[in-house]
Amino acid sequence: MRVLVVGGAGYIGSHMVRALLEEKYDTVVFDNLSTGYREFVPERVPFIRGDLRNVPDIQGVFRDHSIDAVMHFAASSIVPESMSDPLKYYHNNVLACINLLKVMMENKVAKFIFSSTAAVYGEPENIPIKEEDKTCPTNTYGRSKLMIENILSDISRAYDFSYIALRYFNAAGAHPAGEIGEKHNPETHLIPNILKTARGEKSELMIFGDDYPTPDGTCIRDFIHVQDLCHAHLLALKALKDGKKNDIFNLGSGSGYSVKEVVRTVEEVTGKKIKVKIVPRRAGDPAKLVAGAEMAKKILGWKPNANLEEIIGTAWVWECKS
């Protein structure tokens, strides 16, 4: 089976490419390198530099390679940026994905795994969050991903098309071999920013708000190791191969940590003291996101392995090398 990994030079996509190769899948990468890195993709993997906003680029890939399934990682994914530049998010996440789906239909490629997000829930009514809970995003990023989930549902009813949407909670950590990891420019994510402070690259960590309705006032998130996310994708691919029609799964650990707790865990793992500064809230941040991941366990047989210390440990090795 040949899998097209769209966004395979990015953070999660590049880990996925390695996971697919380990399982002996033929793999092709398509990426515009806007946030990805060519060197994250192994030399032996066919790499096409192209843009989903340019339909002939996509058509070329399907013309030149016989594709059986698509994993779609390419997206803009920074919550605060999605609030200040919503059109970028609708263009890169919605329009671009529709182009991809249209070309898939033209080529009768019927298996799709979509990188969705916990941001589709917005401010949840229940914790842990279940897949059937209300989706009411508080930011444009979450709304753009929810639009695609709705489109997938519509097209799967109309055409021969099966999909699994995976709602990631907070992806973090790095490949254990230390060759690839999280690398954004600018870096906005919590764990890499704390680690950059630990290394002295940043003088202090800004904590965006300590007046949330949580025990210590800082936001609570559910961190999931990127390798565990990739494992879930392999199981989702197998489910589609075995004839599964459509589904949506949360991918999280089920445990929530506040921003301050994550800072303390980094201090323990690295042995470095982190200087923090409390600043005002960031636009679009929900107070608490913790996954109920029972469905992925029950239906895909997925179970996350890495705890927060292990996630931070692999991210620290990567941060010190990069």
Note the residues at the interface with ligand UFG (CB under 6 A): 77, 79, 117-119, 169-170, 188-190, 193, 205-208, 219, 221, 259, 282, 285, 289
How far, in Å, CA of 301 to CA of 221, rounded? 23
Report the C-alpha dihedral over residues 74, 230, 134, 95, rounded to 10 degrees: 10
User: Is-contact 258 194, C-beta < 8 A?
Assistant: no
Residues 6+ apart with CB under 8 A from 77: 117, 141
Q: CB of 117: closest distance to ligand UFG in angstroms?
A: 4
Q: For ligand UFG, give the closer residue by CB, 68 or 187.
A: 187
Q: CB of 116: closest distance to ligand UFG in angstroms?
A: 9
SS3 of the chain: helix, strand, coil, percent, to 5:
40, 20, 40
Alpha carbon 77 to its chain centroid, in Å, reads: 8
Total residue length of the chain: 322
How far, in Å, CA of 186 to CA of 321, rounded? 18
Element (H, E) at 194: helix 190-199
Q: For ligand UFG, give the closer residue by CB, 219 or 306.
A: 219
Q: CB of 35: closest distance to ligand UFG in angstroms?
A: 12
Which of 11, 89, 121, 141 is an active site residue? Answer: 141
Q: CB of 282: closest distance to ligand UFG in angstroms?
A: 5
Instruction: Please work out, in degrees rounded to the nearest 5, the angle formed at the alpha carbon of residue 224 by the alpha carbons of 22 and 98.
Output: 75
How far, in Å, CA of 317 to CA of 161, rounded? 41
Q: For ligand UFG, give the closer residue by CB, 44 or 277.
A: 277
Q: CB of 169: closest distance to ligand UFG in angstroms?
A: 5
How far, in Å, CA of 233 to CA of 300, rounded? 10
Q: Is 141 a known active-site residue?
A: yes
Residue located via tokens 């795994």: 113
Q: For ligand UFG, give the closer residue by CB, 111 or 233.
A: 233
Pairing of strands 205-208, 276-279: parallel
Q: For ligand UFG, give the closer residue by CB, 111 or 221.
A: 221
Residue nearest to ligand UFG (CB): 219
Residues annotated as part of the active site: 141
